[in-house]
Amino acid sequence: MVTIQPVTAAATSHPTPPAGFLLDVIEQVGRAPRHALVAVPLPPGHGHDVEPAVETLRRWCERTGNELVSSSGNVAQVRCGRRRDPLADLAPDLVPGTRLWMYTNFDCNLACDYCCVRSSPQTARAALGADRVRQLANEAVRAGVSELILTGGEPFLLHDIADLVGSCTDALPTTLLTNGMLFKGRRLEALRQMDRARLTLQISLDSPTAETHDAHRGQGSWDRAVAGIATAKAEGFRVKVAATLPYELTHVVGPFHAFLETLGIPLGDRVIRALAHRGVAEQGVELTVETLIPEVTVTSTGVYWHPVGAEHADQLVTRDIFPLQDAISQVRTQFSAYRADADAAAQWFPCA
């Protein structure tokens, strides 16, 4: 049977289109598959004004559980039924706000030639700071975040990195991204203070031999990263290894996996990702807010769409870091809107 929502709206007086208009709409939308977009011709009224028809259509959609998507010229787009929440179609671990990324700082002991946030020894620190990290960690628990991820820059350049990490691991399981090159002296002592049960270290390593890694990250960096992996494992930490590769090489990783096997890194702890055309990278995968599933990312300057764009204005969501729940809600709302636009475009521009 035709599905009808209960009548709730009150009558208002306004110009109305020809009565047959709504009968045509009901027949047209009633034949369409749920979630399909239907192009509804709008009959012009006095002075070719289609606004009365649009208003009638809007009120009809509200009452009957359909959605007026847009109107332009003499045509309106109506979605049959309300669109599905795009968030409901995501795997649970991909829902924005499941993880919270925090850029602890932007300065780095390296100057990788593909760094997506232009970090280097000359880059300003732009530290998030211990107080904000602590507040974010606490608010993250209330906001339903299940994992915290700290990145930079190189977080181990911070003198208070152990405190920062401690306030995170006290709240939630945490992953700390590092180049693994600084595990000596006071920084090694800082590492030893961290909670091995709640912290995972993710160390960057791009290749099974020094040549490729060093070409992008600096002479001698591969040896020190490999040594850092060994140190971290010897200290009892879970270690993940992350490689950044040109897209065309992301499937040529057999030797790399074999090498990681010798380091004792299990398959599930190996992250291989394509180089993004962001920051100082001259090439790479183009990533936009419309195409990226967001990973809520906080820096000292605001909340960003994704860590790969954390110093790019196009990925800034809000300057207001707190309350965190509001920022997460904003990201989710924006994501739903982008998906709706993409779905609409996909339906309206078939090529064959």
Partner 1 sequence: MPSPLLVGAVAYTPNVVLIWEGMRDYFADTDAPMDFVLFSNYGRQVDALIAGTIDIAWNTNLAWVRTVGQTNGECRALAMRDTDTVFQTVMVAPAGSGLSGLESLRGRRLALGSQDSAQAAILPVHYLREAGLGTDDVELLRINSDVGKHGDTGRSELDALRAVLDERADAAAIGINTWEAIGREELMPGAFEAFWTSPTYSHCNFTVLPHLAPERSDPWLKALLAMDWENPSHREVLEMEGLRRWVPPELDGYESLFAAVKDQGLSTRW
Residues lying near partner 1 in the complex (CB under 8 A): 1-7, 9-11, 13, 16, 19-20, 22-23, 26-27, 30-34, 56, 59-60, 63-65, 80-81, 88
Q: Report how far residue 101's alpha carbon sits from residue 116's, in angstroms, rounded to the nearest whole number.
A: 15
The C-alpha angle with vertex 294 and arms to 290 and 295, in degrees rounded to 5, equals 160
Strand partners, 101: 149, 297
Q: Report how far residue 215's alpha carbon sits from residue 235's, in angstroms, rounded to the nearest whole number.
A: 29
Residue closer to partner 1 by CB (options 13, 219) is 13
**DSSP E strand stretches across 233-331:** 238-245, 270-274, 297-299, 302-304, 316-318
Buried b (16+ CB within 10 A) or exposed e, 282-311: eebbebebeebebbbbbbbebbbbbbbbbb
Give the CA diameter of the chain: 82
> Measured from the CB of residue 59, what is the shortest distance to partner 1 in angstroms?
6
> Measured from the CB of residue 144, what is the shortest distance to partner 1 in angstroms?
17
Strand partners, 200: 175, 238
Residue closer to partner 1 by CB (options 26, 263) is 26
Residue closer to partner 1 by CB (options 26, 227) is 26
Residue closer to partner 1 by CB (options 80, 245) is 80
Residue closer to partner 1 by CB (options 22, 274) is 22
Nearest to 83 by CA among 348, 290, 341: 341
> Measured from the CB of residue 35, what is the shortest distance to partner 1 in angstroms?
9
> Measured from the CB of residue 66, what is the shortest distance to partner 1 in angstroms?
10
Q: Dig out the tokens for 253 from the structure.
A: 């990783």
CB 151 within 8 A of CB 177: yes
Under DSSP, is residue 81 helix (H, G, I), strand (E, B) or coil? coil
> Measured from the CB of residue 14, what is the shortest distance to partner 1 in angstroms?
9
Q: Dig out the tokens for 91 from the structure.
A: 């795997």
Residue closer to partner 1 by CB (options 7, 313) is 7
> Measured from the CB of residue 295, what is the shortest distance to partner 1 in angstroms?
25
Residue closer to partner 1 by CB (options 270, 339) is 339
Residue closer to partner 1 by CB (options 24, 261) is 24
> Measured from the CB of residue 257, what is the shortest distance to partner 1 in angstroms?
38
CB 241 within 8 A of CB 213: no
> Measured from the CB of residue 68, what is the shortest distance to partner 1 in angstroms?
13
Nearest to 176 by CA among 143, 219, 208, 137: 137
